[in-house]
Structure 1
Amino acid sequence: MSKLSDIEDLIVQDYFLEAFTDIRLQLQKDVYRSGISYTFTKKDPHSFIIELRLMLRGLLNDSFSDFVNLLYAVDVSENKIRFDTVKKSEEIIEIAIGLLIKREWDKVRFRNDMDTRD
Structure 2
Amino acid sequence: MQWPETFSSLIEEANRLDLYKKLIAQLNKDLLYANVDLEFDADTLPTSLKLVLHEAIYKLINEKFGDYLNLLYIIDVSEKVIKALDGSDTVALSEQVTFLILKREWQKVWYRNQYSS
* TM-score, length basis structure 2: 0.82
Q: Deviation per CA, 1:64-105: give whole Å up to 9, x if none.
A: 111111100000133312277431101211211121111111
* Residue equivalent to 1:50: 51
Unaligned runs of 5+ in 2: none
Give the aligned partner of residue 34 of structure 1: 34
Structure-2 separation of matches of 1:81 and 1:54? 18
What is the CA distance between 1:60 and its match in structure 2?
1.0
Matched residues in 2 for 1:83 and 1:90: separation? 16
Q: Which runs of 5+ in 1 are unaligned?
A: none
Letter of the 2:81 counterpart = K
SS of aligned partner of 1:68: helix
Give the SS at the match of 2:69: helix
In the TM superposition, what whole-angstrom CA distance separates every residue of 1:7-30 from its partner, at most 9, and x where no partner exists?
A: 2x32552x2222221111101100
Aligned-pair Cα RMSD in Å: 2.1
Matched residues, number: 111
Counterpart residue number, 1:89? 90
Q: Which one scores higher on RCO, CA 8 angstroms, separation ≥ 6?
A: 1
Where does residue 112 of structure 1 map in the other structure? 113
Query: Using the alignment, how far apart are the partners of 2:68 and 2:61 within structure 1?
Result: 6
Kindly tell me: are residues 64 and 36 of structure 1, through their superposed partners in 2, closer, same or farther at Cα, counting changes over 3 Å?
A: same
The alignment-based identity, stated in percent, is: 28
SS in 2 for 1:36: coil
Q: Which residue of 2 aligns with 1:24?
A: 24
Q: What pairs with 1:64-103 in structure 2 (closer than 5 Å)?
A: 64-82=65-83, 85-103=86-104
**Aligned mates of 1:84, 1:19 — CA distance in 2:** 28
TM-score (norm 1): 0.81
**C-alpha distance in 1 between matches for 2:115 and 2:27:** 19
Q: Distance in 2 between matches of 1:63 and 1:37?
A: 12
CA contact (8 A) 1:30 1:73 kept: yes
State how far apart, in whole Å, the 2-side matches of 1:87 and 1:10 are: 27
